[in-house]
Structure formats: structure tokens, C-alpha cells
């Protein structure tokens, strides 16, 4: 793992409160959280503990009620929507449990789509898509549609889409949640290979087997970080 003096991800005092009628729900409470460049972090905890809320804030899909958040030294907690979209597109790669591929686009087009929102020549987009598909072993499926792929293959395409933009960090939300054990292990091995190649990864998971893939586990309970440590040797 490579560390830098300035964390890639830096959160201090993050709170998230949801208001519904007269009910106030504290999803996150005073979260302090750093990720360094090249680090692989697993966020774990029971259902409803705030894992997905934290990942949504990390990915700029949601804003905190209070606290400071910076990516690569840039404060992002209070950015205007257009600037949030820019940072999200250029700095963050998403891997979702449900794949979130577009059915009427080919594999190649799905991976290319986020790149079309950048000022990038078509030839560069093509080269990046090709390289990303090679990384995940899906070059031979470039002209197929998502419905023609297995769940494991669709998740590999989703990983390719996430890495094609060369983001600062990959955010994975239960990336094996819709896969059987064999395909789940295959996707986890792919993430491990990406990490070995220098990728920074933050993964939400409830599966203790997959926590063992990470450099560090951050455990949440009732919206608070209750532990942060390396996975135990037994888990590895």
C-alpha cells in the first residue's frame, strides 16, 4: 500500500440526518474517515448501520448534513451540482450491486458512455475502452448487449466502465450481492488484481470473506465508526 501525507479521501465530523414528518433519523454521526492513495478499504456492518449512506456521500451522490469532505485535497462537501458532477465523473469510479448497465447499449458503448461527458477525442475513448475491457477479460464480448451476458460478465463490464475513466478511487457497493459464490469470488479476485496494480478501492460489504481482501476494515454500527483495523489473520 502506498500512503501520502495528504489523504486521497478525507472526512471529518460527517453527519447525515434524514427528516420525515416529525421523525429525525441520524444515519451517520460524527464520522472521521481517511483513505490513502493505493489503499483498499472495506466498510462493514449490519443492515441499516449507514454503510450505503456513507458510500453515497463518498461518491457525491448525496451531501452530508454537516462535516468536511475532500478528495485529493479539493473540498467537495458543499460544491454546486455542476461541480459535483465534474468531480464524480473524473475522480470516482462506481461499481454497483445491480450492475446498472444500459440494456440497449453494447458492452463497448456502456463502458464508453461516462467518457463521452469529457472533452476527449473519440480515438482516446476507444483506446481507454479497449484497455479497460482487456483488464476484465471482456474484449470478446464488446459487441454484445447486457442481456446476452451472465451476471458475472455484467459485473465485469461494470468494473471496466468504472476503471476506464482512470478515477482517483473506485467505490464498490456490495459488488458481489447479485452473484453466486463462484462469480462473486471471480469479481473479488478482479478487484484484488486492480488493487495490486495501484487502484484505490473502497468497498461496502456485509460478507466477512470479502473483508479479508482489503488492507483495512472500517466497521459501522448505528451510523458511527466503531472499529478500524486490518482484517484478522484468520479472515485472510
Q: Which domains, and CATH codes, for the chain?
A: 38-62+81-229 (3.40.50.300)
The closest alpha carbon to 191, from 166, 234, 162, 218, belongs to 162
Coil/strand/helix, residue 119: coil
Per-residue pLDDT, 231: 60
CA contacts within 13 A on the Cβ side of 222: 1
> Edge-to-edge strand order for the sheet containing 169-173?
92-95, 169-173, 201-204, 40-44, 216-221, 224-229
pTM of the model: 0.89
Q: Which three cell numbers stand for residue 27?
A: 444515519
Backbone angles phi, psi at 221, to 5 degrees: -150, 125
pLDDT in tens, the chain (236 residues): 444 478 999 999 999 999 888 889 899 999 999 999 999 999 999 988 999 999 999 999 999 999 999 999 999 998 999 999 999 999 999 999 999 999 999 999 999 999 999 989 999 999 999 999 999 999 999 999 999 999 999 999 999 999 999 999 999 999 999 999 999 999 999 999 999 999 999 999 988 889 989 999 999 999 999 987 776 554 44
Amino acid at each position: 500500500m502506498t500512503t501520502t501525507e495528504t489523504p486521497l479521501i478525507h472526512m471529518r465530523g460527517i453527519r447525515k440526518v434524514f427528516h420525515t414528518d416529525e421523525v429525525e433519523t441520524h444515519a451517520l454521526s460524527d464520522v472521521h474517515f481517511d483513505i490513502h492513495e493505493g489503499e483498499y478499504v472495506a466498510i462493514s456492518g449490519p443492515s441499516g448501520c449507514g454503510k450505503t449512506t456513507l458510500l453515497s456521500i463518498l461518491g457525491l451522490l448525496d451531501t452530508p448534513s454537516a462535516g468536511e469532505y475532500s478528495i485529493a485535497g479539493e473540498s467537495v462537501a458543499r460544491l454546486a451540482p455542476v461541480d459535483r458532477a465534474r468531480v464524480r465523473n473524473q475522480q470516482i469510479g462506481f461499481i454497483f450491486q445491480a450492475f446498472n448497465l444500459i440494456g440497449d447499449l453494447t458492452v463497448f458503448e456502456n463502458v464508453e458512455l461516462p467518457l463521452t461527458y469529457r472533452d476527449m477525442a473519440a480515438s482516446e475513448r476507444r483506446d481507454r475502452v479497449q484497455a479497460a475491457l482487456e483488464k476484465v477479460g471482456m474484449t470478446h464480448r464488446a459487441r454484445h448487449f447486457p442481456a446476452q451476458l451472465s451476471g458475472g460478465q455484467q459485473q465485469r463490464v461494470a468494473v471496466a466502465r468504472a476503471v476506464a475513466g482512470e478515477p482517483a478511487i473506485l467505490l464498490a457497493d456490495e459488488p458481489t450481492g447479485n452473484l453466486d459464490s463462484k462469480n462473486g469470488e471471480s469479481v473479488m479476485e478482479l478487484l484484488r488484481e486492480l488493487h495490486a496494480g495501484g487502484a484505490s478501492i473502497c468497498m461496502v460489504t456485509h460478507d466477512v470473506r470479502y473483508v479479508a481482501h482489503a488492507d483495512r476494515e472500517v466497521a459501522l454500527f448505528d451510523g458511527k465508526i466503531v472499529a478500524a483495523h486490518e482484517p484478522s489473520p484468520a479472515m485472510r
